[in-house]
Amino acid sequence: MKPATEPDRVATTLRSLPMFRGLSPDQHQRLAPLASLREFARGDELWREGDEADLLTVIVKGRVKVVRHADAGDVILEIFGEGEPVGAIAVYNYIPYPASAIALEPVTLLCLPRRDYFELLDRNPEFARAIMRELTKLVLALTRKLQDARGQRVETRIAQLFGSLAERMGRNTDEGVLIPLKLTRQEVADLVGTTVETAIRVLSRWGREGIVVTRDDGFLIPSRARLTEAAEGESGE
């Protein structure tokens, strides 16, 4: 069997991504030469805050964190996974990236120049609607995250983080739901807006109690119900 060429890889990737599945075979064929695949190692910056958003990027493999740099320290705004567009709001609004994007693990991106992306939107109403659905989900998720964080106990915020990760990328196993994502305690703290010391203390206790178990391959949640009960029953910070 001949190894796949780069155009073949791009064409296969386009067909596999949910947001491009509504396109016809002819549209896929016209789009493939415009797109490219880019590889990043763990810790690589995909872009920095303030860079021009001139590419639509969709994650093919791996996970990416979006980070806002501040004097008090970095704040992780969101984590994106396979099949999700990242940075699309900036691309759509012709604005620089408002935050930096960093690979949490080896990442493959499908990249499409903004000009070609908008031409595709103009020619294909179904594709435009699919993009708008994705952007709407991103905006609603960020709005809900900001609302949920107000006045909540830190245990509740950590529980909601792991509940959300379980829904988006969790895998059911005999032991419970496995979240195949490695996050440092600092990254957990940045995601929920607390100190690293608090994140260490909560996750250490939850690990001993079998609520959220840290493993080499990610996090295991033996029981979603116990995670919810732990958050509701513990005192806040």
Q: Is residue 1, in this structure, part of any structural domain at all?
A: no
Sign of the torsion formed by the C-alpha atoms of 93, 98, 100 and 106: negative
Cα(46)–Cα(68) distance, rounded to whole angstroms? 14
pLDDT at position 2 is 39
* Residue 30 shares a structural domain with residue 82: yes
For residue 235, what pLDDT band results from cuts at 50, 70 and 90? Answer: very low
| Region 132-157 average pLDDT | 64
CATH of the domain at 180: 1.10.10.10
Q: Of 133, 148, 163, at which residue does a domain stop?
A: 148
Q: Specify if 166 maps to a domain.
A: yes
Question: What phi and psi, each to the nearest 5 degrees, are found at residue 230?
Answer: -65, -40
Question: pLDDT of 96-116, one tens digit each?
Answer: 999 999 999 999 999 999 988
Looking at 148, 178, 196, which one is the last position of a domain? 148
Q: Are residues 115 and 162 in the same domain?
A: no
How many separate domains does the chain show? 2
Name the percent of the chain lying above pLDDT 70. 84
**Domain hosting residue 226, numbered range:** 152-233
**Average pLDDT, integer, range 11-32:** 81
My answer on whether 24 and 141 are in the same domain is yes
Q: Is the pLDDT at 155 greater than 80, yes or no?
A: yes
User: Residues 68, 107: one domain?
Assistant: yes
What was the pLDDT predicted at 81? 87
pTM exceeds cut of 0.85: no
Q: What is the mean pLDDT of residues 37-58?
A: 94
CA angle 6, 8, 10 (to 5 degrees): 70
Statement: residue 135 has pLDDT above 90: no
Select, from the ranges 20-34, 35-49, 115-129, 188-202, the one with the highest average predicted confidence (pLDDT). 35-49
| pLDDT higher at 119 or 201 | 201
Alpha helix ranges (H) inside 3-123: 6-16, 25-31, 88-92, 114-123
Q: Distance (Å, rounded) from C-alpha 123 to C-alpha 24?
A: 12
Strands (E) in the chain, as ranges, are 36-40, 45-47, 55-61, 64-68, 75-80, 85-86, 100-103, 107-113, 171-173, 176-179, 213-215, 218-221
98 and 204 both lie in a single domain: no
Are 211 and 138 within one domain?
A: no
Q: Is residue 87 part of a domain?
A: yes
> Residues 171-181: what's their mean pLDDT?
91
Q: Specify the range with the lowest mean pLDDT, choosing from 63-67, 97-101, 146-150.
A: 146-150
Same domain, 134 and 180: no
How many Å apart are CA 132 and CA 81, to the nearest integer? 18
DSSP 36: E
Judge if 107 and 128 occupy the same domain: yes
Model pLDDT, residue 3: 41
Mean of pLDDT over the chain: 83
Are residue 47 and residue 60 in the same domain, yes or no? yes
Q: Is residue 61 part of a domain?
A: yes
pLDDT, position 190: 82
Higher pLDDT among residues 190 and 148, named by residue: 190
Do 175 and 217 belong to one domain? yes
C-alpha span between 23 and 14 (Å, rounded): 9
Final residue of a structural domain among 115, 148, 181: 148
Summarize the confidence of residues 114-128 as an average pLDDT: 79
The highest-confidence range among 15-19, 71-75, 98-102, 118-122, by mean pLDDT, is 98-102
Both 107 and 160 in a single domain? no
CATH value at residue 95: 2.60.120.10
Q: Are 179 and 215 found together in one domain?
A: yes
Which residues, listed in sequence order, are joined to residue 28 by a DSSP beta bridge? none
Torsional sign, CA 12, 54, 121, 135: positive
Predicted local confidence at residue 156, as pLDDT: 87
**SS3 category, 15:** helix
pLDDT-derived band at 132 (thresholds 50, 70, 90) equals low
- CA distances (Å), 21 to each of 16, 62, 83, 174, 183, in order? 7, 20, 11, 33, 31
